[in-house]
Chains A and B, each alone.
Chain A
Amino acid sequence: MDRAELIARLTPIIATYAQDKDAVASINETTDFIKDLKINSANLVDVILDVEEEFDIEIDNLSMERMLNVSAAMEIIEDKLKTK
């Protein structure tokens, strides 16, 4: 999967929780979930659950902790897909 496709699949998941809807339109690898998209920190765990379902992977506690922005999310997803 190339990175553009990955972002395309990630965007609708993130959009559900983003309170700054304008920021969703310009999602890129540097976008931060909390600072840029104003996702409520309690919802980060929901983002992760949705990502797991979308990509059929399981994200460990350690990875969860650092999944705070788009680039970390992409890295973790790619990593988990490789070891599937």
Chain B
Amino acid sequence: MDNRVVVTGLGVVAPNGVGLTAFTDAIKNGTSGIKHDPLLEQLQFSCQIAGKPELSDDFIAQYFTALELRNFNSTGILYGVIAGMDAWKDAGLTITEGDEPDWDCGTIFGTGTSGIDKFRESIYKVDDLQLRKLGSTVVVQTMASGISAYLGGKLGLGNQTTTNSSACITGTESILMAYERIKTGQATKMLAGSTSDSGPYIWAGFDAMKVCTYKHNSSPEQGSRPMSASASGFVPGSGAGAMVLESLDSALKRNATIYGEIIGGHINSGGQRCTGTMTAPNSIAVQRCIKGALQNAGIKASEVDAINGHLTATSKDATEIQNWSIALNRKGSDFPYINSLKSTIGHCLSAAGSIECVASILQLHHDFIFPNINCEDLNPEISDAIDFNRIPQQLLNTNVNIVAKASFGFGDVNACIILKKYAK
């Protein structure tokens, strides 16, 4: 029989809060982590605001040795290691000592790129005929699987240790893949999550595509406006989210805190057919993904209490709401509560799914719906489809039993996960 899979540890490095306590407070209060970024201004970006986690050197030194920090230049690995190790610790797990790894624990930790600043540094050296001066630190920081390799070594993981990559669904996908591995009995515990590099070299391509807002350089906290009539593009962000998934048997045996249960999900692609392109979703595929997730979880659409959307603050937000409405066959005042974390942290790209899943699990565990900010002027296409009060502007303390969380990404890929409050 399949294992039930529960969440027993959480870790987060987000622009508006590092660590569970700070992050929970920030999302409950609608605290924005979006700031003006002088480097983006200096480099003449159209969008000069961004969401970056703030980490002091002393704090970083708690997670990395002095040797590891020598010539270290990968923000993605930095955020991912901190979030991952925090989740491990939060789950009450210890680090495997000695010669034997823990064969039943692994990680699926995704990213879009790895160590883009390290890559840039290396390319300059190579072109300057200084290749031999690269030393030993380039490969492990720039290989896509750098983050899972760092975590695997630090924690002594002996099960599958890999990195997935699928644009903005990466984090949601990593959790669903880790879920499958435990469900089918191939691992007992999996550290699942994702991370994203910070800085101009990761964000430049999006700026050049004109998908980021250029209208809020002097009002950063108002810049990220999912579902708003005045949404004008996303605000780039970065960070990492992580969770320990565990078989229910294992969690009960060690009397672990259970934050919630993963009861199913679905991943698909629109194949870049119909309305789908490299950069736009095929709505039919989005609807199938949501319906597929409900079916996989064995729940009815009416049981969904809240949706944590992808909702990036572009013109596509209304399309997303319509797709949810069609897939769930719910509209107006019957529509579930919906929120977008991007209003306070921006779009953390490959880290978005995992950070948003951490926020979704926190809502289940603590019974609240975090507020959306910057959508007091709701997009009329959205207000035509669903009631204004379905989009909380203030913290809502209410019983939350089931959250549906979806992510959509470039390449016309979709992922939807169904999270439920744990009950025997």
Contact = CB atoms under 8 A, between A and B. Distances in A.
Interface of A: 16-17, 42-43, 45-46, 49
Contacts of A17: 67
A25 to B, nearest CB: 18
Interface stretch (B132-140, B221-229, B366-374): B132-140
Interface residues on B, range: under 10
Contacts of B136: 42-43, 45-46
Interface of B: 66-67, 70, 132-133, 135-137
16 contacts: A16-B66, A16-B67, A16-B70, A17-B67, A42-B136, A43-B67, A43-B136, A45-B135, A45-B136, A46-B70, A46-B135, A46-B136, A46-B137, A49-B132, A49-B133, A49-B135
Contacts of B133: 49
**Residues of A contacting B: mostly:** helix
A17 B67 CA distance: 7
In this complex, the member of B66, B67, B133, B137 whose beta carbon has the largest number of chain A beta carbons within 10 angstroms is: B67
A65 to B, nearest CB: 14
The 5 closest A-B pairs by CB, nearest first: A42-B136, A46-B135, A45-B136, A46-B136, A49-B135
Contacts of B132: 49
A76 to B, nearest CB: 16
Given A46-B135, A49-B133, A49-B135, 13 more contacts: A16-B66, A16-B67, A16-B70, A17-B67, A42-B136, A43-B67, A43-B136, A45-B135, A45-B136, A46-B70, A46-B136, A46-B137, A49-B132
A69 to B, nearest CB: 19
Contacts of A42: 136
A56 B18 CA distance: 43
Contacts of B66: 16
B131 to A, nearest CB: 12
Nearest to A16: B67
A9 B107 CA distance: 42
A77 to B, nearest CB: 17
A46 B133 CA distance: 9
